[in-house]
Amino acid sequence: MRWGEVVMSNGSQSKALNSIKNWYATSKQEAGLYIALVALIIFLSIASPAFLNAENILNIIRQVSIVGIIAIGGFMVILTGGMDISVGYVAALTGIVVAKLTIDMNVPMPLSITAGMCVGLLAGLLNGTLSTYLNLPSFIVTLGTMQICQGAGYVVTQATPISNFPESFVELGRGYLGPIPIPVIILAALYIFMSLFMKYSKFGTYCYALGGNKESARLSGIRVNRIQVLVYILGGLFSSLGGLIVAARTNAGSAQVGGTYLFDVFTACVLGGTALSGGIGRLPGVVVGCIFVGILNNGLVQLNVDSFYQMMVQGIVLVIAVVLQSLMTREKRKKSNKQ
Amino acid sequence: MGTILSVKNISKSFPGVKALDDVSLDVKSGEIHALLGENGAGKSTFIKIVSGVFRADEGEIFMGDRKIDVKSPADAVEAGISVVHQELNIVPWLDVATNFMLGQEKTKKFLHIIDKKYSIQKAQESLKRLEFDIDVTKKMQMLSFAEQQMVEIAKVISTNPKVVILDEPTAALAQQERANLYQVVNALKEQGVGIIYITHIFEEVFELADRVSVLRDGQYIGTEERENLDEKTLIKMVVGREVKSVPRESIATDEVVLEVKDLNVEGKLHDINFNLKRGEILGFAGLAGAGRSEIIRAVFGADRKDSGEIWIEGERVEIDSPYDAYQAGIALVPEERKSEGLMMEMTMEYNNACASLFKTTNKAGMISYKKVRQRAYEAVKKFEISPPDVLRKAKLFSGGNQQKIVVSKCVSADPKVLLVDEPTRGVDVGAKEEIHAILDEMVKEGKSIIVVSSELLEVLKLSDRVLVVRDGRIVAELTKEEAGQEVIMQYAMGGSSHE
C-alpha cells in the first residue's frame, strides 16, 4: 500500500487479477515505462549482437548504479517541489577534491573522502538555506551552485584529470563482491533502505506533504523549512557519494564528468513518474528510469550512433517523457472533473 | 431613466453548492445600484456570470431589449459591461500610460512599435476627465493603491461602457480616498452609466446608492429604494431572520485554558487581550479585514507577531511557528481549505494522518499503515464523512466533507485548543449543521474552541461569548445574552452609524 493509492472494488474477479489491475490503474506511467523498457531490450538484443554480452551488461549496471545513487537525492528534491540541477557538478567536484587531496597532497584516504563528502554537504546547505529561508527559486540557486562547482573543479584540476588513486579506493568502483560489482551492491543497499525510509519514516511522509501543499503542511504543524533544507543536504550528499564512485571507477578526478549526470538523473526521475510539481513519485520508479536511461545510452553506443546524435536522441526521449506525463495528468483531471 | 441591463432568473451550481438560485436584477441608466450580501451570498458568482467569467446554468441577460450571450469577458466588454475588480489588473513595473493602453495599444506600421505619444495623450485625457491629475510616465508601482485604482477605473471608462460593476472598491481605501472615489462614481452616474456597486459598508449604501438589492445564500432577497430603508431593515435583509435552531447548551467552566496578553502585529493588531475557558466556544465577529483571522493566525504562529504572551493552562509558551503551536496543544482549521487545509491530490487517510503522525508510529518509530488506516476509519465514522472511502483523494470530496477532513486532521493531534477560521464557508446548509454539531461535540469532549466567522448567525449560534473586532482591536466583549446581530454590527462598524 502507498500514499495516493486508489482502490477499485470488483468482487467477481480474482484477487491476483484485481491487484494487477489496481497496480496498473495507479501506476500507468510506471507500467508504460516497463513496456518501453522491454521493447528497448528486445530491439537492442536483435540489432546489436554485443548487447546481451555478459561484460556489456555488467558495464550497463555499473553505469546505472552511479546515476542511480545521484538520482536518489535528485528525486527527493523534486518530490518536495524543488529542483537541484547542481547534482552532476557537485559529484564531479567531490571526485576532484578527493583526487587532489589523496594523489597530489598525500592526505590519508579516510580524511580526503570526508572532505569530498563535505562538498556535497556544503552545496546542499547552500542550496537549501537560500531557497528555503530566502524563498528564492531553487532552479536559480542550484544553477549558481552548479556553476561554482564546475568552475572550482577546473581551478583545482587546471582542466587535466588527476589520476592514479591507491588500489584500495579504485576497488570501490571496479571491484566485485562475488560476481556482483561493488557499486551495484551500494546502490541496491541504498535503494532498499531509502525506499523503506521514505515510506515508513515521518521524514519521508513529510516530504510528500511538502510537495503536495507546502502551506497546508506548515499549518499542520510540520516544520517545513527544516525538512526542506535537510532534503537539499541529502541531495548534495548523494551526489557526493555518486561522485566518489565515479572517481574510483575512472581512477581519476575530472571536471568533465559533471554534465552528463545532470541530464541522466533528471530524465530517470521524469521517466520514473516523479511529478515535477512535487508530491508524487516513488523510488522504485526512479530505479527503473535509471535502468532505461542506462540501457538507452549503452545501446546507442553499441549501435555506433555518433555521439552528437546520441545527445539528440536523449533529448527527444526526455521531451517525450514530459509530454506523456502531462497528457496523463490531464486525462486524470478530466476524469476527476466528471466525478 | 431606462433600464439598460437586466438579468433574469439566473441560477448557477457548483459541485455540492447552489451558488445562485433564480436571481434577477436590473440596472437603470444613471443609477447606482448597491448589491449587498454576506460572504458566500453569491455576489461574486453573480458578477462573474454577468462579466463572462462563468456561464449561468439557467437564466438570461438583456442589454436594453436585446438578449445577449456572454460567453467570455471579451463578450461582456463588447456588450458594454465592464468590471473594476477588487484586485487590480496592473503591471507594476510598467508606466501608467502603458498600463492604461495595455491590450489596446495603437501601433506604428513598422514592426508594430507602440505609439508612445498617443498612449500618453490618451491616458492623460481620460484621467483628466475624472479630474485626476497624475504624471502618466510614472511607474505604476510608485502610485498608491488608490491612485492605481483610479487609473484602472479610467481605463475601464475609456471603453465607454454602459454598465460598470465596482467590486468592493473602497475596501482598501482610507477615508479621504473614499471621498474621491465617491466623486468619480457620481460623475459616472451623471454621464448616464449604470453602476452596480458591491459593498459591505452600510455607510456607503446610504451615501451613494439609489437602489439596494440583497443576496443571501445564493437567493435573491429583494430590491428596495434607498429612501425606504433604514439600517435596521437593511441588516435584517442581509443577515436574515433568526433561524430557529436548537440553542447550544453552554458547558463553559471558569478554568482558563488559553490566555493571550498584549498581542501586537504592526499595522494589523493592537493590544489584543483575551482568554478562553475550558469547554467554551468563543466567537470572533467583525467586518472582513477587521483582523479576526489575523488574531488567531498570530496566536497559532502562522503569521509573525511583534509582541505578546501566550499562556496555556497557566504556563507561558513560546509560539513562533505552527509546529510550536501543535506542541503547545493548539490546532488551527485554516480559512482556505483548498490552499491551506488539505493536500488535494492526496488521499483522505493521508490528510487525516499528516498532523499526527506521532500517533501512528510503532515502537521503532516507523509509520504503521495499519494504524493510519484504522484512525482514518475512526474519523470517517465519528465525523460521518461521506463517501466513507479513506483512499479517495481529498479533491474528490464535496466541500462539506473536505471541511470535516480538515477538522478531523486537526483534532487527531488531540489539541487542548482548537482555532477554527470560517468553519462552514462554501458549505451547504446540511453540512453546516453537521459541522456545528461536531464543534459542539468537541467541547463536550473537553476541548475549548475559538470560532472566527464572517457569518454573524454562525457566531451567535455557536458562541458562549463574542468578541467584536474592528480595525485590529477588540472593541467589545458580549455575553451570549447581550450578543445580537444589531449590537454586533454596530460595534463592528463603529460609532458613526447608529441611526
Q: How far apart are CA B343 and CA B310, in angstroms?
A: 29
Identify which of B254, B299, B297, B256 has the alpha carbon closest to the alpha carbon of residue B276.
B256
Q: How far is B221 from chain A (nearest CA, A)?
A: 32
Chain B hits for A208, CB-CB cut-off 8 Å, are: 346, 350
The secondary structure of B366-389, three-state, reads CECHHHHHHHHHHHHHHCCCCCCC
Identify which of A82, A109, A62, A119 has the alpha carbon closest to the alpha carbon of residue A214.
A82
Q: What ipTM, to 2 d.p.?
A: 0.79
Phi/psi of residue B167, each to 5°?
Answer: -95, 105
Interface contact A219-B326, CB threshold 8 A: no
Is B361 an interface residue toward A (CB < 8 Å)? yes
Is B396 an interface residue toward A (CB < 8 Å)? yes
What residue type is B455 in one-letter code? E
Chain B hits for A218, CB-CB cut-off 8 Å, are: 302, 321-322
Interface contact A4-B323, CB threshold 8 A: no
Identify which of A85, A78, A66, A27 has the alpha carbon closest to the alpha carbon of residue A291.
A66
Virtual CA dihedral for A331, A332, A333, A339, nearest 10 degrees?
120
pLDDT, residue A12, reads: 43
Identify which of B385, B410, B408 has the alpha carbon closest to the alpha carbon of residue B397.
B385
Whether the pTM exceeds 0.80: the reply is no
Q: How far is A202 from chain B (nearest CA, A)?
A: 7
Q: How far apart are CA B311 and CA B334, in angstroms?
A: 21
| Burial class, B351, CB count within 10 angstroms (exposed 0-12 / middle 13-18 / buried 19+) | buried
Is B358 an interface residue toward A (CB < 8 Å)? yes
Is A195 an interface residue toward B (CB < 8 Å)? no
Q: Average pLDDT, stretch A13-19?
A: 63
- CB proximity list for B449: less than 8 A, separation 6 or greater: B280, B281, B282, B417, B418, B419, B420, B439, B442, B443
In a mutational test of the A interface, the residue from B320, B332, B336, B354 whose CB has the highest number of chain A CBs within 10 Å is: B354
Chain A hits for B396, CB-CB cut-off 8 Å, are: 336, 339
Q: Which residue of B has its CA nearest to A207?
A: B354
Q: How many residues does chain B have?
A: 499
Q: How far apart are CA B407 and CA B447, in angstroms?
A: 13
pLDDT, tens digit only, all 499 positions of chain B = 588 999 999 999 887 678 888 999 999 999 999 998 876 678 888 988 998 888 889 999 999 889 998 888 888 888 999 998 877 878 888 889 888 888 777 777 777 778 888 888 888 888 887 777 888 888 888 888 888 888 888 888 888 899 999 988 877 676 677 788 898 899 889 989 999 999 877 778 888 999 999 988 888 888 988 888 887 788 778 777 544 455 678 888 889 999 999 999 998 899 999 999 999 999 999 877 788 999 999 999 999 999 999 999 999 999 999 999 999 999 999 988 888 999 988 899 999 998 888 888 887 778 888 889 999 999 999 998 888 889 989 988 888 899 999 999 999 989 999 999 999 876 766 678 889 989 999 999 999 999 998 778 889 889 999 999 998 999 999 998 888 888 888 888 775 444 3
Is A235 an interface residue toward B (CB < 8 Å)? no
Is B366 an interface residue toward A (CB < 8 Å)? yes
Q: How far apart are CA B458 and CA B485, in angstroms?
A: 11
Cα atoms in the 13 Å half-sphere on the side-chain side of B180: 16
Q: How far is A218 from chain B (nearest CA, A)?
A: 7
pLDDT-derived band at A1, boundaries 50, 70, 90: very low
Nearest to B340 among A202, A219, A279 (CB): A219
Q: How far apart are CA B266 and CA B307, in angstroms?
A: 9
Phi/psi of residue A48, each to 5°?
Answer: -130, 110
Reported as type and span, the H/E element at residue A300 is helix A283-302
The total of other beta-carbon atoms located within 10 Å of residue A235's CB is: 30
Q: How far is B45 from chain A (nearest CA, A)?
A: 20
Identify which of B63, B42, B46, B66 has the alpha carbon closest to the alpha carbon of residue B54.
B46
Q: How far is A172 from chain B (nearest CA, A)?
A: 32
Q: Which residue of B has its CA nearest to A26?
A: B391
